Amino acid sequence: MNKLLKVLAASALVATVLVGCGKKNETTTSGEEGAKYAKAGFGMVTTISDGKVNTTMATVGLDKDGKVNYIDVDCAQQDTEATGDNLLSKYEKKEKYGMKGQSPIGKEWNEQIDAYKVWATGKTLEEIANVETMDFHGGKAANTGSELAAGCTIVIDDIQAAVAKAGENMTDVSADKMGAGEVTTISDGKVNTTTASVAVDKDGKIVWSWVDCAQQDTEATGDNLLSKYEKKEKYGMKGQSPIGKEWNEQIDAYKAWANGKTLEEVANVETMDFHGGKAAKTGSELAAGCTIVIDDIQAAMAEAGETLQ
């Protein structure tokens, strides 16, 4: 099933499927004794190659000792003509991605990412950054004979960069579960990959979240490779916003609104039609700080809820 349709369906059914699961939002709460995750972070890197936009995402949760206890890695790789299954991420495509036949270890991309995650779990971010590598297809791959290379031989430059950025973005949390979701759409000649990562407490309430969107065409360079959140005032929404807020400011308001809510409560936000999508209903709690179209954000949030662990 098309990923967007799948996650939108998940959002619509969240009341029955995800009751009790937490949702996302940022917090500065310090870790509680016994919490599975003491820190959470997200990183995203976009590059252009072979006429496609490649957005690599990493969500990382650390335990109280600073070791990886949760990690999700994926890559959205699309051109501006992508439709249907071509809007799925590389991980979601599984065998349809078609790497197995060309892999020296006979493993598909998603299988190699699973091996990377197993390898990274229990390590510190420093240990992950210091993995032994060798030159491979214009990038870096795990050194032949190394622990990682036994299950993962793909180029890992963007993965390592996204994990490192997740480390830079770490926030103290007291969380029992984490999840990550993303949805890709094509509009106005650009690839839009919207991401949502969440951490929830033992009561299923969101204690941390990260929402962002990579919006690029296949000619993007320099600052145009930054995400919408990273661009801040350079994104240029403030002058057109009915509340005079830049995109990143509205995302901060969305996260503050979602904090302390469950996935069901986030999914059931009051909305109205706006610019061909759905935005928070005028006069609602969310609309006070966030008036942008939130369809893709809500879909990515629903998927993050489905993957909580």
Query: What local confidence, expressed as pLDDT, does residue 34 receive?
Result: 78
Question: In the structure, what pLDDT confidence band is assigned to residue 7 with cuts at 50, 70 and 90?
Answer: very low
How confident is the model over 215-224, as pLDDT tens digits? 999 999 999 9
Say which DSSP state 281 is in. P
Residue entry with tokens 């966030």: 290
User: Averaged over 256-271, what is the pLDDT?
Assistant: 98
For 206, the enclosing helix (H) or strand (E) is strand 206-216
Residue 258 in this model has a pLDDT that exceeds 60: yes
pTM, whole model, 2 decimals?
A: 0.89
Task: Provide the sign of the torsion angle of the four alpha carbons 269, 270, 272, 274, taken in this order.
Answer: negative
How confident is the model over 123-162, as pLDDT tens digits? 999 999 999 999 999 999 999 999 999 999 999 999 999 9
DSSP the chain: --HHHHHHHHHHTHHHHSTT-B------PPPPTT-SEEEEEEEEEEEEETTEEEEEEEEEEE-TTSBEEEEEEEEEEE-TT--GGGGS-HHHHGGGG--GGG-TT---HHHHHHHHHHHHTT-BHHHHHT--EEEETTEEEEPTTSTGGGT--S--HHHHHHHHHHHHT-EEEEESEEEEEEEEEEETTEEEEEEEEEEE-TTS-EEEEEEEEEEE-TT--GGGGS-HHHHGGGG--GGG-TT---HHHHHHHHHHHHTT-BHHHHHT--EEEETTEEEEPTTSTGGGT--SB-HHHHHHHHHHHHT--
